[in-house]
Amino acid sequence: MSRVCEITGKKTGVGNTRSHSMRAMRRKYYPNLFYKNIKDPETGLVYRIKVSAAGIRTLKKKGII
């Protein structure tokens, strides 16, 4: 299962971690994802979506959560 936010599209990024001697080791940066249940007001169905913290703020701003 992929680590992608279904609202914002945020996904795993890659970069470097640096030791004290400044040697670069590759690493992954994962988005801050949560599972949220969203109810569709028209059909009454509940959808389970994977959403990042930024996506949750967006949904709250739009009044969906």
CA distances from 46 to 16, 23, 25, 38, 55 (A): 39, 48, 42, 6, 18
How is the chain split into domains, by residue range? 13-62
Per-residue model confidence as pLDDT tens digits over 36-47: 999 998 999 999
CB 60 within 8 A of CB 18: no
pLDDT given for residue 22 in this prediction? 97
pLDDT given for residue 13 in this prediction? 97
pLDDT given for residue 39 in this prediction? 93
The whole model's pTM is what? 0.82
pLDDT band at 65 (very low <50, low <70, confident <90, very high): confident
Per-residue model confidence as pLDDT tens digits over 9-31: 999 999 999 999 999 999 999 99
CA distance 36 to 28: 24
Buried b (16+ CB within 10 A) or exposed e, 28-59: eeebebeebeeeeeeeeeeeeebbbeebbebb
